[in-house]
Amino acid sequence: MTEDERAIRQIVETWMTASRGGDVPKVLSLMTDDVVFLVPGREPFGKEAFRAASESMKGIKIDGRNDIQELAILGDWAYLRGHIEVTVTPPNGAPVRRAGHTLTILRKIDGKWLLARDANLVS
């Protein structure tokens, strides 16, 4: 495994750990400023919309796992294809489990890999 592959896999793990812990600033630090998210039933959105949605989820417990099924590094760009499972539990509410496939594009900026585009089919 190359150093770049290890770094990208660590980003995925850090993202999941920070999400579990509700650490929105940490998750935001793993994205480019021009990040674009694509999700079913919604127009594409960026970092500020992600921040607002995340901050509105205070008190909601998030757990999950992300299985990387394919990873390719092409210079300062990389992509990964995976399958994610997420369980969201609102305060005093029943857990909601969602799962689906993802396609993520990362960009290496100043020696650091960051998430640049993310499309998921989580439903």
Q: Is the pLDDT of residue 5 over 90?
A: yes
CATH T-level topology, domain 3-120:
Nuclear Transport Factor 2; Chain: A, (3.10.450)
pLDDT tens readout for residues 18-56? 999 999 999 999 999 999 999 999 999 999 999 999 989
Sequence spans of domains, the chain: 3-120
DSSP designation for 45? B
pLDDT tens readout for residues 6-17? 999 999 999 999
pLDDT of amino acid 39: 94
pLDDT tens readout for residues 71-118? 999 999 999 999 999 999 999 899 999 999 999 999 999 999 999 999
